[in-house]
Structure 1
Amino acid sequence: MKAHEALIAWSGWDDESPMRGKVAVGRIVGEGQISWTDGYSNTGGAALEARRKMRGAQSLIGVVKDFHYLVVDERLDPEAVHKAFLAIDEYAKLFG
């Protein structure tokens, strides 16, 4: 899926969520659809309207910033974040 469609969901290590320390990437949830993000405490990527409008290099920069945030600030496992982000076409093309 393209970065502008990719919803990122995660729960940091400090969260009390049952998904603590987990990350997933999937399509943004449309109105009236059941959310696949239940159980996660945070969402990003296409959850932000501005990110859904980004294309090209700007979109890839946003994905790389998300990766950095999840690994450095949220302390998620880099390999787990990498595997989840492979669902994003732009990321997979560069780092897959």
Structure 2
Amino acid sequence: MKKYKTIKMFLTTFFGTDADAYGETYSEIVDTATGLVTGLKDDLSDEVCEFLHEYPDNESATLYLNKLTDGQIGDVSFLHPSPVEFLQWLSSYLKQKRDNHHS
């Protein structure tokens, strides 16, 4: 699974057993993650966009994400409202952060 290394690192690190340490909401966790990892905003944004293009439905996305994370965070169906909708939100949130940073 060489593809989507950034998504794997993001999910297993920031949504793993220590997720509470990074924030209580998705936006807090993403803000913490992008503050700690240089280049994460752009790399993650690019990978999420590509991932959603390749796995546009929850069934295939969930199967791939569960394989990608090797069960390190349990079943990714905890991502609400669904894994695909979470990734769509993440993509737009990262773009918004990038746009706000450049303005």
- Shorter chain as denominator, the TM-score bin is 0.3 to 0.5
Structure (1/2) with the larger strand percentage = 1
TM-score under structure 2 length normalisation: 0.32
TM-score under structure 1 length normalisation: 0.33
Tell me: higher relative CO, structure 1 or 2? Use CA pairs within 8 A at least 6 residues apart.
1
Structure (1/2) with the larger helix percentage = 2
